[in-house]
Amino acid sequence: MSGGPAPSRPAEAGPDPGAAAVAERPVGRVRGTRDWLPDDFARLAEIERQLLDQFGRAGYRPVRTPILEFAELHERKSGAGIVAKLFEVGGGETTEVCLRPELTASLVRAYAEAEEPPPLPFRVSMSGPAFRFQPTGPGRDREFTQVGVELIGAGGAAADAEVIWLADWSLRSIGFGDATIRVGHVGLILELLGRSGLPPAAVSALVESLSAAAAEGQNVRAIEAALERLSGWLGATGDGGAPGQAGGAAGPAAGVERLFRQLVPNVTGRRSGEEIIHRLTRKWTLGHTLADVLGRVREQVHALAALKGPAGEVLERLERDHARHAPDSVAALRDLMEALGHHGVDPGRVELDMGFGRGIGFYTQMIFELVVPTPGGPREVCGGGRYDGLATVLGSPRDARGAGFAFGLERLLEVREARGESRPHRNGDARGYLVSAASGPASDARRAASNLAAAIDLATFLRERINVPIVLSELSFPAAVAQARALGLGQVVTVGPAIEVWNLEQGDVRSVREGELIEQMRARLAVFRGDRP
């Protein structure tokens, strides 16, 4: 090793008794977060910009909402799966505050609270960090970035198709043209349960159990399992007879009471448990026992959960086997597929999955996700759906219809890299300039200072006149060239007795004056952009 160590580098011999104390141990990152250094962050920001630009082309204007929200905002409708993952924040607030776990509820709150009602339909885009206290792993950070849109005040197949099309169109704009569009319909299960004759309390409890299960990656079979457990529980209590039959002396009222006590053990509100049970009993008009109804619903859910495949085939089976149980939802899916066709979406890329249960409890009808193939298997990169009623739940009298989606920005970058499509970011794509003071003799400090001052003057002069990256450097010429290449800059300008421009692409050098340099920069920029003289 030649020469002594750099002044900032500690001596490699034994510790100096007069030196400062050893540095503290590193603090480290919070689990579930990550750092984004310039090159990686540039790739992430590029995807974000492309998506927001694409949203803007469809008329979705950007908005921003706070990262801090009252926890109640998400507790009202986000479902058990999200609420359990809230990061609550301490401080002087008397009401619980949290870091937002997603963007939609904040946007709907902002829409509901706006002094002047926005003109409908209200098309907006959002981008920003979200936080969930969840197990960490590949694609599961606790801090992540969502980029998406919301369409407020519009309903029906046309609005649903617009949201799905925009997600797919935007994904294709960043190079993912082979995504599968997986579409489900929460309304099918909700309508099936609503028409089953089960007491509303039972329906609500079953939907909540499915919401929690779906948040953990399960599908609508979670309801099938819950129904099976309830049927077994009812059998164990001896509730099996019709009114007046042995073994069911108390008739269906006893079954209603047992079911209610099982599903809703703690009663709050104006009515007592006995009053609620009495109301449920009066509404229980089916000529069948609870066990019969639960068994029938379980069979319907089982058949529905197995329906998955090409859109045309699944629609045909829905029409044949399930339209009588959920006519409105089946018709809505048929209209949605027709509307997607008008948007130019290839039906061959649409998969209908009736066992798909993401976000149930938050979403009310159509749900979808975009799935892209990778060497490690398919990866979901975008999800969304229709959440009618959210504004009402938040206490607003305004139009409560809404639909939207969000991309996971970090996941998009991970998938691009997994597919080998991530390309090194170039700052300006060889358009930029690195301005460096020409190094003179090491002993000539006055000349070095003069050259540096001139380089600063030139860099300032150019930045005011040319819209390309101008980076100032004090490095020696070989190091400045290496730095320019690392930053993706195509020119190195050295300032000394003369101004010299080194073209790193062509390997030539020329001496110029300041005015000539500006004209050359403009000419080069015009060529790069494809402008005509």
Angle, nearest 10°, between helix axes 273-283 and 252-263?
130
* The predicted structure's pLDDT at residue 15: 53
* The predicted structure's pLDDT at residue 454: 87
Cα Rg, the chain, nearest whole Å: 32
CA separation for the pair 10, 174 (Å, rounded)? 47
CA separation for the pair 198, 204 (Å, rounded)? 10
Give 20's pLDDT tier (boundaries 50, 70, 90).
low
The one-letter amino acid at 436 = S
Q: Is residue 468 part of a domain?
A: yes
In this structure, the answer to whether residues 316 and 364 fall within a common structural domain is yes
One-character DSSP codes across 192-238? HHHTTT--HHHHHHHHHHHHHHHHTT--THHHHHHHHHHHHHHHHHT
User: Residue 116 burial by CB count (10 A; 0-12/13-18/19+): exposed, middle or buried?
Assistant: exposed
Q: Is residue 525 part of an annotated ligand binding site?
A: no
End-to-end CA distance of the chain: 56
| Mean pLDDT on 166-185 | 96
In this structure, the answer to whether residues 190 and 217 fall within a common structural domain is yes
CA dist list (Å): 151 to 62, 85, 87, 124, 403: 12, 26, 27, 7, 5
Q: Is residue 103 part of an annotated ligand binding site?
A: yes
Q: Is residue 379 part of a domain?
A: no
Reply yes or no on whether the pLDDT at 144 is more than 90: yes
Q: Three-state SS across 450-497?
A: HHHHHHHHHHHHHHCCCCCCEEEECCCHHHHHHHHHHHCCCEEEEECC
Reply yes or no on whether the pLDDT at 520 is more than 70: no
Which residues sit opposite 88 in a β-bridge?
A: 98
In this structure, the answer to whether residues 485 and 520 fall within a common structural domain is yes
Residues 84-101 have pLDDT tens digits of 789 988 766 667 899 999
* The predicted structure's pLDDT at residue 247: 36
Range of the domain at 446: 433-529
* The predicted structure's pLDDT at residue 340: 97
* The predicted structure's pLDDT at residue 499: 86
Give 23's pLDDT tier (boundaries 50, 70, 90).
confident
Residue where one domain finishes, among candidates 357, 372, 387? 372
Which SS3 state, helix, strand or coil, does residue 270 take? coil
Answer whether 406's CB lies under 8 Å from 384's CB.
Answer: yes
* The predicted structure's pLDDT at residue 406: 98
In this structure, the answer to whether residues 126 and 212 fall within a common structural domain is no
CA separation for the pair 406, 412 (Å, rounded)? 11
Residues 97-142 have pLDDT tens digits of 999 999 999 999 999 999 999 999 999 999 999 999 988 887 789 9
* The predicted structure's pLDDT at residue 140: 81
Give 219's pLDDT tier (boundaries 50, 70, 90).
low
In this structure, the answer to whether residues 145 and 203 fall within a common structural domain is no
| Mean pLDDT on 157-173 | 97
Number of domains in the chain: 3
In this structure, the answer to whether residues 289 and 278 fall within a common structural domain is yes
Q: Is residue 171 part of a domain?
A: yes
Assigned token pair, 330: 């089946």
Asked which of 147-161, 237-251, 461-475 is least confident by mean pLDDT, the reply is 237-251
**275 CB-near residues (< 8 Å, 6+ apart):** none
C-alpha dihedral, 474 to 476 to 477 to 483, nearest 10°:
-60
% helix / strand / coil in the chain, to the nearest 5? 45, 20, 40
Answer whether 69's CB lies under 8 Å from 93's CB.
Answer: no
Give 8's pLDDT tier (boundaries 50, 70, 90).
very low
| Mean pLDDT on 208-218 | 56
Count of alpha carbons within 13 angstroms of residue 167, beta-carbon side: 35
Residue where one domain finishes, among candidates 352, 372, 392? 372
Q: Is residue 358 part of an annotated ligand binding site?
A: yes
Q: Is residue 74 part of a domain?
A: yes
In this structure, the answer to whether residues 45 and 135 fall within a common structural domain is yes
Residues 348-365 have pLDDT tens digits of 999 999 887 666 668 889
CATH of the domain at 493: 3.40.50.800
Q: Is residue 262 part of an annotated ligand binding site?
A: no
Please choose, from the candidates 150, 68, 77, the residue with its C-alpha nearest in 3D space to the C-alpha of residue 396. Answer: 77
* The predicted structure's pLDDT at residue 105: 95
Average pLDDT, the chain: 79
In this structure, the answer to whether residues 220 and 323 fall within a common structural domain is yes
Q: Is residue 511 part of a domain?
A: yes
Q: Is residue 23 part of a domain?
A: no
Higher pLDDT, 209 or 306: 306
Q: Is residue 146 part of an annotated ligand binding site?
A: yes
Residues 259-280 have pLDDT tens digits of 455 445 454 555 555 555 555 5
Residue where one domain finishes, among candidates 353, 372, 391? 372
Residues 310-334 have pLDDT tens digits of 999 999 999 998 898 889 999 999 9
CA separation for the pair 472, 470 (Å, rounded)? 7
* The predicted structure's pLDDT at residue 111: 97
* The predicted structure's pLDDT at residue 229: 61
Q: Is residue 293 part of a domain?
A: yes
* The predicted structure's pLDDT at residue 212: 56
Count of alpha carbons within 13 angstroms of residue 461, beta-carbon side: 15
Reply yes or no on whether the pLDDT at 287 is more than 50: no
Residues 29-45 have pLDDT tens digits of 999 999 999 889 999 99
Reply yes or no on whether the pLDDT at 59 is more than 60: yes
